[in-house]
Structure 1
């Protein structure tokens, strides 16, 4: 495995760069400085809100590419690279699909803020980890601003309790099981692969010069755009099957171990 030509490193956040306590290691920040000295770009690609990603990576926020909301929004040095909101009519179609289904907690994800129903107050503490800016609303269907995606949470299982309720929307919209408890519904072009392709085009970087880390189904499209795609040991089976390489788990510094090899 020859990583000498890598010009861009892209990492998912939860389950990948972050450990199980949702922390970024000091080891990574040290490695990032070495990447920077070598002129290698780094992109954080997550289903998280832009503000949440930036908070986690605060010491290096001005030097990284941020791909937020599963690729619905991306920026670098304050310059917008991608902005793919949901079609205006889609919001209520999605919310209507969730009506009457117990245990689902939808979140309207805007560019700088998230919106959730006051009926989901028990979910707020969980939400705070992923969305640092949020507003409670009586009725989400009355929201008339732009929405990048609708993220839906279930405390037990996304694949069992959420996906079957929204899978009929596939085709017109992008429906992604993005975590053990999350499903995201977004613009058909709002995915990490679309955003990564724009980044590659913008900086004239090829798949052979791209290294990607991921752990869940929302990472599949971007993995297809990298000759060096790594699945975490804790990854979903679909990701392990799609990735060309594998590294150890997020709790065992899987990203950092590969970066050590890259920087040798």
Structure 2
């Protein structure tokens, strides 16, 4: 790590020399895993300094992630003025200044979630499911266990989504589906074909793990909503990402950067590039933005 006082001068990654910075930036939207965070889930001192400098310059920073609110401790110490995050791929807007208090929810209706379960059990036998609620995650016996959530209920998805279950009053943020044999992209394509009229499908894991939200719910949709509330136009937003669940956000933002370690779909959706997450690619661009605004 590089200390804040010894932070390197802004540099332009070789692959990014042709990218033009927007004239006015009012908001930076960044994914976390594989983007802002290094592979060890840390935030480098250089990145911490860049985030603070952006907010001091009047640029809001939104963390936009597939993570649930309870897993935001990795960045909670680096939130400055606004304190908001978009979690669960757009299903929740969270106030990190108030211990991850959920301010807005865009749920997946249980009837649609059950329809997805039925469709995938038929189209991809061997699929197992987890249900992410506002009060935590619960999963089937065959689903890879979440060691960070020891209090999860283990039961069939049909029971977890039943109106008679104890947590039936809690909104469903995401349904997750795992397959032990299919490749990640093949599983995603199959799911979209078999159940795409019931939910929005994406993925961010290197394994065949799908993240399933309500129709019309994505990082992009919730970010657009939050920006509209603030009078911020898409062309005033710079976004960063690395995986398929970032594509809609990167396409919506006026300027978007794919990390050097990004999935091919992300590289195809963006015209600008930055260096990899382990090389502080987000910080590199923030430094360029601030230098350009000061010149």
Note the residue ranges of structure 2 that are not aligned, 5 or more in a row: 1-19
| Cα distance between partner residues in 2 of 1:155 and 1:161 | 10
| Cα distance between partner residues in 2 of 1:258 and 1:20 | 19
Residue in 2 that maps onto 1:92? 114
Residue in 2 that maps onto 1:184? 211
Residue in 1 that maps onto 2:156? 139
Residue in 2 that maps onto 1:223? 250
TM-score, length-scaled by structure 2: 0.78
Could you tell me whether the CA contact under 8 Å between 2:121 and 2:127 is conserved in 1?
Answer: no
Residue in 1 that maps onto 2:175? 150
Aligned counterparts, 1:77-116, within 5 A: 82-99=104-121, 101=124, 104-116=127-139
Which of residues 12, 27, 33 in structure 2 aligns to 1:8? 27
Residues 173 and 149 (structure 1), Cα distance of their counterparts in 2 relative to 1, 3 Å cut: same
Deviation at 1:70, TM superposition (A): 0.7
Q: The residue matched to 1:74 in structure 2 has which SS?
A: strand
| Cα distance between partner residues in 2 of 1:212 and 1:153 | 28
Deviations, residues 37-89 of structure 1 (Å, cap 9, x unaligned): 1121111111111111x211120346432111111111346686642111221
Deviation at 1:102, TM superposition (A): 5.8
Which of residues 11, 26, 34 in structure 1 aligns to 2:53? 34
Larger Rg: 2
Note the residue ranges of structure 1 that are not aligned, 5 or more in a row: none
| Cα distance between partner residues in 1 of 2:289 and 2:113 | 43
| Cα distance between partner residues in 1 of 2:21 and 2:283 | 17
Taking only aligned residues, the RMSD between alpha carbons, in angstroms, comes to 2.4
Could you tell me whether the CA contact under 8 Å between 2:21 and 2:255 is conserved in 1?
Answer: no
Could you tell me whether the CA contact under 8 Å between 1:43 and 1:66 is conserved in 2?
Answer: yes
| Cα distance between partner residues in 1 of 2:119 and 2:194 | 9
Q: The residue matched to 1:23 in structure 2 has which SS?
A: coil
Residues 17 and 84 (structure 1), Cα distance of their counterparts in 2 relative to 1, 3 Å cut: same
